[in-house]
Structure 1
Amino acid sequence: MQIRNSSERYGMVAVTIHWLVAVVVLGLFALGFWMVDLTYYDDWYKQAPDIHRSVGILLFGLMVLRVVWRVANAGPKPLPSHKRWEVASAHAAHGLLYLLLFVAMVSGYLISTADGSSIDVFGWFEVPSVTGQIKGLEDTAGTVHYWSTWAIVALAGVHAAGALKHHVIDRDNTLRRMLGR
């Protein structure tokens, strides 16, 4: 498999980043969904949010890399069998997924740093608060984070359904191109 994208298929870097982001986003969603019901006396009460924040910060760096890679390395051309509305909706869905991911990550950061504290990323480094203490920021950012993450999961489901439709019904190479085949 080639490293860079070609006009026919995605390269190893794009494929790896795509699937890594997908797994991490679903894992973060599951962890976030689970950890909100933890009580003070649960063993994971402090550890789960620390892991969630740390992985979220690392995901932000990966998404920045993904955007840079995408700008520097154009994706494959649409298949000739793709209809114009399919191409347009795929571009819109991808753009919205990117936007929602950044909204979710920034709002998650703002939840954690609204009191002026920094985020310790697995003890490797700290990401400081850029806002200081802002009253009410945590609640507003929490609402944005909640709805943006649900929107990501819903849109990712539509994205996956579209890929499966191309693979099972249309029997084209849309999904294979992102599987590295």
Structure 2
Amino acid sequence: MAITTRLRNDAQSYGWMMIGIHWLMAIAIIGLYALGLYIVDLTYYDPEYKTMPNLHRSIGILVLIALALRLAWKIGDRTPRPLASHGPLVRLATGAAHGLLYLLMLVTLVAGYLISTADGRPIEVFDWFQVPASPLQYDGQEDIAGWVHYWSATALIALAGLHALAALKHHFLDKDATLKRMFGITKETT
């Protein structure tokens, strides 16, 4: 076994760009979900009432940027070949699950942006830069976007959990290289 040192994907496994962004986004999204659940219980008098939502928004914007980068990289890079052990049904389910994960990430992040800019103010991202408010404001924006944000984030976390369980199933039960490829572990070629 060898650890890949390539930036880009090849036919056998993922390169470090996709591996790194996959795991960073996974950690950030799980953390954002937990932080979001914590935030909804804060009251005006809690010391973290202003800081935690700002942290949540800032990380959310960075994840949105990472998602755009990830999609652009995915378009410009090859996808490793499916494993021989994966039949057409597994490939179809995998493609559908990945597509739905991307869609739920996008919906969740855009809804979060719409909640945060419903009052017409920009989002301040860690005092590094501002993201302007949406020029399209509508009645009930914060409530509607809040509902969409919560349910799409919950669906995203549930699907990500199934995604992780499927990867573990492939690793421990099927004993194939699915999980190893997302850690950059490949067979040594001699």
TM-score, L = length of structure 2: 0.93
User: Which residue pairs with 1:114 in the alignment?
Assistant: 118
Runs of 4+ in 1 over 6 A off after TM superposition: none
Alpha-carbon distance in structure 2 between the residues aligned to 1:87 and 1:132: 39
Give the structure with the larger helix fraction: 1
Q: Which runs of 5+ in 2 are unaligned?
A: 186-190
Indicate the SS of the match to 1:74: coil
Q: Which runs of 5+ in 1 are unaligned?
A: none
User: Which residue pairs with 1:89 in the alignment?
Assistant: 93
Alpha-carbon distance in structure 2 between the residues aligned to 1:8 and 1:151: 31
Give RMSD over aligned pairs.
Answer: 0.9
- Identity across the alignment (%): 52
1:26-61, CA deviations, whole angstroms, 9 ceiling, x for partnerless residues? Answer: 000010011110111111110000000001011110
1:56-100, CA deviations, whole angstroms, 9 ceiling, x for partnerless residues? Answer: 011110100000000000210100011211111111111100010
Alpha-carbon distance in structure 2 between the residues aligned to 1:174 and 1:97: 17
1:76-130, CA deviations, whole angstroms, 9 ceiling, x for partnerless residues? Answer: 0100011211111111111100010010000000001111111001111111112
User: Which residue pairs with 2:159 in the alignment?
Assistant: 155
**Alignment partner of 1:74 out of 75, 78, 92:** 78
User: Which residue pairs with 1:144 in the alignment?
Assistant: 148
- Residues 1:41 and 2:74 are matched in the alignment: no
Alpha-carbon distance in structure 2 between the residues aligned to 1:113 and 1:30: 22
Alpha-carbon distance in structure 2 between the residues aligned to 1:74 and 1:86: 20
Letter in 1 for 2:154: W
**Alignment partner of 1:134 out of 121, 134, 138:** 138
User: Which residue pairs with 2:107 in the alignment?
Assistant: 103
User: Which residue pairs with 1:125 in the alignment?
Assistant: 129
Shift of 1:132: 5.4
TM-score, L = length of structure 1: 0.98
User: Which residue pairs with 2:188 in the alignment?
Assistant: none
- Residues 1:28 and 2:27 are matched in the alignment: no
Give the number of the structure with larger relative contact order, counting CA–CA contacts within 8 Å between residues 6 or more apart.
Answer: 2
Alpha-carbon distance in structure 1 between the residues aligned to 2:29 and 2:181: 21
Alpha-carbon distance in structure 2 between the residues aligned to 1:149 and 1:28: 9
Residues 115 and 134 in structure 1, CA contact (< 8 A), matched pair in contact too: no
Indicate the SS of the match to 2:46: coil
Shift of 1:133: 4.4
1:142-174, CA deviations, whole angstroms, 9 ceiling, x for partnerless residues? Answer: 000010000000000110011001000000000
User: Which residue pairs with 1:64 in the alignment?
Assistant: 68
Indicate the SS of the match to 2:52: helix
Letter in 1 for 2:63: L
Indicate the SS of the match to 1:120: strand
